[in-house]
């Protein structure tokens, strides 16, 4: 069994074997008490002889000077397998045991002195031999003021970067701040001890030693290191342990950048980061360490229960057979990454392989609804849906024998989150949540002393109340690294990779696809981020040859007599080749055919970047169209868009598609002629055609009308059209009909009209005006004698539709006729004076007056 931390080291060490009294452990001194402060102690063979097998000798050493303690300094140790030396802190083998030394665990270099808690200052030794060995052991005997216990501890949270699970992970050449403190359990038992009066001695594992409670060190070589700190107190007594831990330094994982062959633009190329030699960027993320490392337990689901316990196992087999936890300070702690919705119903227990255990969190613990980690729940703080098994986010919770941070269920260790959101976004709450951190255990750690290190360690979680789930994602013991045997190594995982550069089309975890759209020399930067938070970058260059892009355009057509320039583009390309044999960038074409252009760029070597295109050119004749001048016709006309040719296409404004059309109505006619389907060769013409029937005009026979009246004269015909024009000799009218009146002038009037279409027709009529007077009597005698019995208005027949209205002397209308026929006899009315109004349709003014009805006796 290794003994590294239970032994007390004194500053005043005797160098070599003192030339003084010689003491042997043999049958003579067996079970005796030797009082001395000087001398040399040997096995029964002395300084050069052999010890014999199968012997057991017990010897007690008592200090000769009062108030001092015996100290042994072993200068020689070579024993057979199975031979042991047990050393006890007191007057007998019943006293507390310092440890057992054998052929594996040697006391060479140690100063073993009775402790300050041992008032006798005595040491008792028990020697058990197996096979005989010629060398044996030798130790010097001295006495000193007894050293009080000193324990060195590394302050993991005060180290920068923080130490997690006994590891400080750091980037290359980054200074590390180390911090430690002392524990003085026997302070003031003999003398006063404190951090301020103690010397902290750091061994960084790279050959550098430094002193100070807080020190800074930068490692030069990128690898893993075991570092330690020990303490010398005010009396020069060394700490009973070396507080040890490890530094893991990241290293640039980029080893090789393989050259990228030249390639053509518009080509997709992958750049790959990997460990294989064919990768573009070859990386190696393995680094060697210097000692062992313990593994962690896997995930354990904590389903809802009421008084149900769940066990998470972690089995160790790396320690020497029979090795036990002899000093509780070698157990730096136990850490769990976990989440749970309700701390108040949990009990956490650490169980060692022999069944001994320590309660980390006791139930009931007063934790109430405090949440551990970030669980996924509904109706928090208790997950009312225990079927919800979605893992949440675990926090790291550690319990250590040396923690002074208080217990996890102390309200001072909780943080109130004003808003807590489930990771799956279900509900938000304001709740207490336990901080991840380092806490004291509710039980006694000393119950684990003597636990075998090999075997199955367990975390036992008891869920005492229902309605909540949880997870332990991982857990493990944090032991003094000096106890962990064997070489160790570590890997710094790649966390992420970032790329920068032009034309990145797609980026995956460890590769990118680039698709340059032009040629040139382009620079790319890759930055690798590892799990330690370190970043490494490098740049590389690629040469892209511009891939020509040939575009001759769509197939096209030409008109005969014109020339088309075909351009392969890509000025200053390395080579041009046309199907005509031309090697220039452009060619001129004027004949029907299919033309191919190929353009090539090279890198001066074997790489050729090519592109080609094809175009078909068709040459068409040019059509000629002449419809003639605008014209007028009485019978219609044939319009001809010729001369044409085979395949010609005719598009007339009236929708016709023939070379000729018959026109029989007035209009503007347009034709467009194309010399074939797809031909760009067009011609067109427009003509204005007037189709007007032969003019016919007949004003009718001569007529006579009253000079006060008028007559309507019309020159229209049955196939009348608006294309006719009219010119009248009377009044200058140009309408097809006119109203003619003698205007009070009696006698004949000659009226003529000229009607014009494509040709002209004329007609004349004589209108004679006559006098048509109207005479109104002032009296009539409706007595039935046959004379003057009616109100007779002379000349009224020349004015049809005349309106007659008669009123009595009081203004009341008594008679009305719209076409008076001289037939009112007034029989119904008495004699007297009446008033009349005569209104003519085409006369100038109404006539008014009085009429007297007078009957003779």
Confidence class of residue 797 from pLDDT cuts 50, 70 and 90?
A: confident
Flag whether pLDDT at 635 surpasses 80: yes
Confidence class of residue 14 from pLDDT cuts 50, 70 and 90?
A: very low
- CA-nearest of 54, 50, 23 to 38 is 23
Distance CA(414)–CA(372), nearest Å, equals: 10
Alpha helices in 655-759 (DSSP H): none
Average confidence (pLDDT) over 345-358: 91
- CA-nearest of 258, 289, 748, 670 to 487 is 289
pLDDT, one tens digit per residue, over 116-145 is 888 899 999 999 998 877 788 999 999 988
Confidence class of residue 1 from pLDDT cuts 50, 70 and 90?
A: very low
Flag whether pLDDT at 378 surpasses 60: no
Q: How many other C-beta atoms are found inside a 10 Å radius of the C-beta of residue 669?
A: 20
pLDDT, one tens digit per residue, over 747-770 is 899 989 898 989 999 999 999 988
Q: How far apart are the first and last CA of the chain?
A: 180
Q: What is the token pair recorded at 589?
A: 């074409």
- DSSP structure class, residue 346: E
| CB-side neighbour CA atoms (13 Å) of 720 | 13
**Residue 587 near residue 566 (C-beta atoms within 8 A):** yes
The position carrying tokens 């959101």 is 421
- Max mean pLDDT range (124-128, 272-276, 415-419, 748-752): 124-128
- CA-nearest of 333, 437, 417 to 374 is 417
In angstroms, what CA-CA distances link 749 with 29, 664, 694, 726, 756?
185, 40, 28, 19, 23
Report phi then psi at 36, rounded to 5: -170, 160
What is the structure's pLDDT at 8? Answer: 35
The least confident of 114-128, 382-396, 775-789 is 382-396
Taking domain 151-249, whether its CATH number is 2.60.40.10 is answered by yes
Q: What is the token pair recorded at 415?
A: 């943080």
Average confidence (pLDDT) over 705-718: 86
Distance CA(357)–CA(449), nearest Å, equals: 10
What is the structure's pLDDT at 110? Answer: 76
Q: How many other C-beta atoms are found inside a 10 Å radius of the C-beta of residue 743?
A: 10
What is the structure's pLDDT at 18? Answer: 39
Taking domain 22-144, whether its CATH number is 2.60.120.290 is answered by yes
pLDDT, one tens digit per residue, over 30-66 is 999 999 999 999 999 998 888 999 999 999 999 999 8
Flag whether pLDDT at 17 surpasses 60: no
The position carrying tokens 């169980």 is 351
Q: What is the average pLDDT value for the chain, to the nearest integer? A: 86
Flag whether pLDDT at 342 surpasses 90: no
- Stronger pLDDT, 253 or 429, i.e. the higher one: 253
Average confidence (pLDDT) over 241-259: 89
Flag whether pLDDT at 697 surpasses 60: yes
Confidence class of residue 6 from pLDDT cuts 50, 70 and 90?
A: very low
Element (H, E) at 539: strand 535-545
Confidence class of residue 678 from pLDDT cuts 50, 70 and 90?
A: confident
- Stronger pLDDT, 842 or 191, i.e. the higher one: 191
Confidence class of residue 523 from pLDDT cuts 50, 70 and 90?
A: very high
Q: How many other C-beta atoms are found inside a 10 Å radius of the C-beta of residue 719?
A: 9
Q: What is the token pair recorded at 378?
A: 């509904």
Flag whether pLDDT at 576 surpasses 60: yes
Average confidence (pLDDT) over 92-96: 94
**What kind of architecture, by CATH, is found in domain 703-770?**
Sandwich (2.60)
Flag whether pLDDT at 19 surpasses 60: no
Share of the chain above pLDDT 90, in %: 49
What is the structure's pLDDT at 827? Answer: 84
- DSSP structure class, residue 329: G
**Residue 356 near residue 331 (C-beta atoms within 8 A):** no
- Stronger pLDDT, 800 or 813, i.e. the higher one: 813
| Residue-by-residue DSSP string for 779-812 | EE--SSSSSS-S---BTGGGSTT-EEEEE-TTS-
What is the structure's pLDDT at 15? Answer: 34
**Residue 239 near residue 181 (C-beta atoms within 8 A):** no
- CA-nearest of 798, 794, 817 to 806 is 817
- Max mean pLDDT range (32-41, 143-152, 736-745, 841-850): 32-41
CA quadruple 541, 542, 543, 549: dihedral sign: negative
Q: Where are the beta strands (DSSP E) in 236-280?
A: 243-249, 254-257, 263-264, 269-274
**What kind of architecture, by CATH, is found in domain 257-291+493-545?**
Sandwich (2.60)
Question: Under CATH, which number does the domain 779-853 receive?
Answer: 2.60.40
- CA-nearest of 424, 439, 415 to 393 is 424
Residues 6+ apart with CB under 8 A from 798: 706, 709, 772, 774
Confidence class of residue 9 from pLDDT cuts 50, 70 and 90?
A: very low
**Residue 680 near residue 557 (C-beta atoms within 8 A):** yes
Question: Which sequence spans correspond to the domains of the chain?
Answer: 22-144, 151-249, 257-291+493-545, 300-486, 556-618, 631-687, 703-770, 779-853
Flag whether pLDDT at 380 surpasses 60: no
Flag whether pLDDT at 13 surpasses 50: no
Record the pTM.
0.46
Distance CA(404)–CA(231), nearest Å, equals: 20
Report phi then psi at 539, rounded to 5: -120, 155
Distance CA(720)–CA(692), nearest Å, equals: 9
Same fold across 22-144 and 703-770:
no
Confidence class of residue 583 from pLDDT cuts 50, 70 and 90?
A: very high
């Amino acid at each position: 069994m290794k003994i590294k931390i239970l032994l007390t080291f004194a500053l005043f060490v005797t160098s070599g074997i003192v030339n003084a009294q010689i003491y042997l452990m043999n049958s003579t001194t067996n079970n005796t008490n030797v009082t001395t402060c000087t001398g040399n102690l040997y096995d029964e063979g002395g300084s050069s002889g052999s010890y014999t097998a199968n012997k057991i000798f017990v010897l007690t050493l008592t200090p000769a000077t009062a108030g001092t303690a015996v100290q042994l300094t072993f200068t020689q140790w070579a024993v057979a397998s199975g031979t042991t030396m047990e050393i006890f802190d007191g007057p007998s083998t019943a006293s507390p045991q310092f440890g057992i030394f054998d052929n594996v665990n040697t006391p060479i270099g140690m100063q073993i002195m009775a402790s300050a808690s041992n008032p006798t200052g005595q040491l008792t030794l028990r020697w058990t031999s197996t096979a005989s060995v010629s060398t044996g052991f030798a130790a010097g005997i001295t006495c000193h003021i007894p050293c009080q216990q000193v324990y060195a501890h590394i302050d993991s949270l005060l180290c920068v970067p923080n130490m997690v699970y006994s590891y400080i992970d750091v980037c290359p050449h980054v200074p590390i701040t180390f911090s430690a403190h002392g524990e003085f359990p026997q302070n003031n038992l003999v003398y006063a001890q404190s951090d301020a009066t103690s010397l902290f001695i750091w061994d960084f594992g790279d050959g550098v030693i430094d002193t100070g409670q807080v020190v800074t060190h930068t490692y030069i070589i990128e690898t893993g290191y075991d570092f330690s700190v020990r303490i010398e107190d005010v009396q020069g007594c060394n700490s009973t342990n070396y507080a040890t831990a490890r530094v893991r330094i990241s290293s640039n994982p980029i080893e090789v950048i393989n050259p990228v062959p030249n390639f053509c633009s518009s080509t997709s190329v992958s750049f790959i980061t990997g460990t294989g030699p064919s990768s573009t960027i070859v990386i190696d993320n393995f680094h060697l360490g210097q000692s062992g490392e313990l593994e962690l337990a896997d995930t354990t689901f904590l389903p809802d229960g009421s008084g149900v316990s769940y066990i998470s196992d972690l089995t160790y087999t790396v320690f020497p057979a029979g090795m036990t936890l002899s000093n509780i300070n070698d157990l730096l702690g136990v850490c769990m990454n976990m989440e749970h919705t309700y701390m108040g119903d949990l009990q956490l227990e650490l169980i060692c392989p022999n069944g001994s255990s320590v309660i980390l969190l006791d139930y009931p613990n007063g934790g109430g609804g405090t949440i551990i980690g970030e669980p996924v729940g509904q109706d928090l703080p208790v997950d009312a849906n225990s079927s919800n098994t979605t893992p949440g986010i675990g926090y790291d919770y550690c319990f250590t024998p040396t923690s002074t941070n208080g217990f996890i269920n102390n309200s001072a260790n909780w943080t109130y989150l004003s808003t807590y959101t489930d990771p799956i976004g279900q509900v938000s709450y304001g709740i207490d949540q336990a901080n991840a951190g380092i806490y004291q255990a509710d039980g006694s750690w000393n119950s684990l002393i003597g636990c075998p290190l090999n075997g199955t360690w367990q975390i036992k979680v008891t869920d005492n109340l229902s309605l909540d789930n949880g997870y332990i994602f991982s857990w493990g013991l944090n032991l003094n690294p000096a106890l962990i045997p064997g070489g160790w190594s570590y890997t710094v995982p790649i966390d992420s990779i970032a790329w920068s550069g032009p034309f990145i089309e797609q980026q995956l975890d460890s590769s990118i696809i680039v698709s340059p759209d032009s040629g040139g020399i382009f620079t790319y930067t890759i930055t690798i981020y590892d799990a330690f938070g370190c970043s490494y970058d490098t740049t590389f260059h690629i040469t892209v040859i511009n891939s020509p892009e040939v575009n001759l355009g769509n197939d096209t057509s030409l008109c005969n007599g014109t020339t088309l320039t075909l351009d392969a583009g890509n000025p200053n390309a390395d080579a041009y080749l046309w199907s005509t044999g031309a090697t220039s960038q452009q060619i001129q074409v004027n004949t029907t055919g299919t033309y191919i252009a190929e353009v090539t760029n090279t890198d001066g070597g074997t790489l050729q970047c090519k592109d080609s295109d094809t175009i078909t050119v068709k040459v068409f004749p040019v059509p000629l169209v002449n419809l003639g001048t605008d014209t007028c016709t009485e019978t219609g006309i044939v319009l001809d868009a010729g001369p044409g040719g085979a395949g010609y296409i005719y598009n007339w404004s009236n929708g016709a598609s023939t070379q000729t059309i018959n026109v029989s109505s007035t209009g503007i006619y347009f034709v467009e002629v194309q010399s074939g389907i797809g031909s760009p060769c067009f011609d067109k013409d427009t003509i204005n055609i007037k189709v007007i029937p032969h003019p016919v005009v007949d004003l009718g026979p001569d007529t006579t009308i009253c000079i006060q009246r008028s007559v309507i004269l019309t020159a229209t015909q049955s196939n009348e059209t608006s294309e006719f024009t009219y010119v009248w000799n009377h009044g200058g009218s140009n309408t097809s009909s006119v109203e003619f009146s003698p205007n009070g002038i009696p006698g004949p009037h000659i009226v003529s009209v000229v009607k014009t279409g494509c040709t002209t027709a004329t007609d004349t009529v004589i209108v004679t005006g006559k006098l048509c007077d109207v005479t109104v009597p002032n009296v009539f005698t409706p007595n039935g004698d046959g004379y003057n019995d009616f109100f007779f208005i002379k000349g009224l027949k020349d004015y049809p539709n005349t309106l007659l209205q008669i009123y009595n002397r009081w203004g009341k209308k008594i008679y009305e006729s719209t076409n008076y026929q001289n037939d009112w006899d007034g029989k119904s009315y008495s004699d007297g004076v009446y008033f009349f109004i005569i209104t003519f349709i085409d006369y100038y003014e109404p006539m008014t007056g009085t009429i007297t009805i007078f009957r003779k006796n």
